[in-house]
Amino acid sequence: MGTYQNGDASPSPLVDFRSFHNFRFSKHIHDNVHGNIFLDPLCLKFIDTEQFQRQVESVHFLVGFATSNNSVRMAHKVYPGAVHTRFEHSLGVYFLSGEAVQKLKNYQGMELGIENFDIQTVKLAGLLHDVGHGPFSHLFEREFLPQVCIGCDWSHEQMSVKMVDHIVDEHSIDVDAEMMKRVKEMILASSEFKQPQASRDKKFLYDIVANGRNGIDVDKFDYIVRDCRACGLGCNFEFQRLMETMRVMDDEICYRDNDYLNIQKLFATRADLYRTVYLHPKVKAIELMVVDALLQANNYLEISSHINDPSEYWKLDDTIIKTIETAPDEELKEARDLILRIRRRNLYRFCNEYAVPKDEHENFKNVTAQDIVCSQKNGGVTLREEDVAVSNVKIDLTRGRNNPLDSSEGYAIVFACHYTAMDYESDEKFCIPKERISHLLPTSYQDMIVRVYAKKPELVGAISEAFENFQLKTYGIKAQVHATPEKKKRRI
């Protein structure tokens, strides 16, 4: 990531500077994905705060959760090149947000009434959309908090909104109140899509940063390309093509009908990142250990005590692991030992996994350590729940068990979430009919995988056997036997 430099070249045509005076006080950085990114004076006021700079400490950022998932993962332990930060991602989304809305203005500005106010608002939403993430991102939100704050309604989007207000107040940033209101609505857009606001002006603007209707947004554009590049994986999804050809019809962003394969590649690439990177068995083992370390340290360090107070919450970042690792306090010994095990690659041992049958997806309930322990037969070592770690993995394209390109009327009515396309020879939008979708595309759009880990290497055999018994009892199918290191040794 390059350092800030004074703007000394002609401004990008895709960045609106009201005067040369504004440009003189702008800065630019060189990003290794998007090239030069110009930072306008208002956005710099937010960037140059301790609350935003905190994202520099969110190292080894690999989103993915999107939906689910976009998430800070521990993938750098398996993919050493995956070491970019949430700071870089936020600047990337800022850049793409400005590009997207400017392209719409270039093609349809008079028709849509896009103003400089709208451009600045969308760019700010892109810049600040992740400012509320906790340490280790989605791991903190979806794995740690549910175990220490049972039943609490918390999301990083909601905290981002609180953090935006805190930054404005703390630093006395002079910004239009209506603009900030819309910025916060755009940040929440993906989590509120089931309750669309019919009175919202220029609704298409709310789909640029976080699209709750169909999942096509610049947040995904940035992290998918950035993560693929960091991990040395190929990426044949062309977000530039979609941004160049998108248009607005009936207040909805639409795409050319012959771009459906490119849209499919967007979601397929995201699913591949989940399979090969975010949910790699060793990556998940490390994540399980980090969560256990945070749980062990929570009572003493009160990690979860400020999750609703942005004035304190911003101080919590990935360095909490270093705090645990270096603190001499006896109360942190168990958590400290877990971090030491990660450093020495003495990880939880992967025992086995199975894919949940497709016809069981709808009624599936997460498998627990208790399920595995209760499936142990008599004899040998007696397992305890604290000996077992279970990971319930879900991978989908973006719409659960549904094909993201299938825009059946029923689904669209219920969720207001469908892919529309434009025939440039007409002025009407339409959903792509099933018969036009390639038969080479997959017939299943979601995988559910249950993995089990042993926290102690000597328990791998007993836990593997109990896990196989559980699957046989539950589905009548014996688990596939994976070649764990212990099984390989027995073959020699």
Rounded Cα gap, residues 306 and 330, in angstroms = 23
Measured over the CA atoms of residue 201, residue 202, residue 208 and residue 211, the dihedral's sign is: positive
Burial bucket for residue 324 (CB in 10 Å: 0-12, 13-18, 19+): buried
DSSP 379: S
Rounded Cα gap, residues 43 and 21, in angstroms = 16
First to last CA, the chain: 48
Burial 289-305 (b: 16+ CB within 10 A, else e): bbbbbbbbbbeebebbe
Give the closest residue to 263 by CA, choosing from 284, 282, 241, 279.
Answer: 241
| Amino acid, res. 254 | C
Rounded Cα gap, residues 37 and 369, in angstroms = 48
Burial 194-218 (b: 16+ CB within 10 A, else e): eeeeeeeebbbbbbbbbbbbbbbbb
Rounded Cα gap, residues 108 and 307, in angstroms = 42
Question: What secondary structure, in 3-state letters, does 314-349 show?
Answer: CCCCCCHHHHHHHCCCHHHHHHHHHHHHHHCCCCCE
* Pairing label, strands 349-355, 429-431: unpaired
| Amino acid, res. 20 | F
Can you read off the two tokens belonging to residue 126? 């892109």
Q: Which sequence positions are flagged as catalytic? A: 156
Rounded Cα gap, residues 109 and 355, in angstroms = 49
- C-beta atoms surrounding 243 within 10 Å: 18
Residue with tokens 């056997």: 465
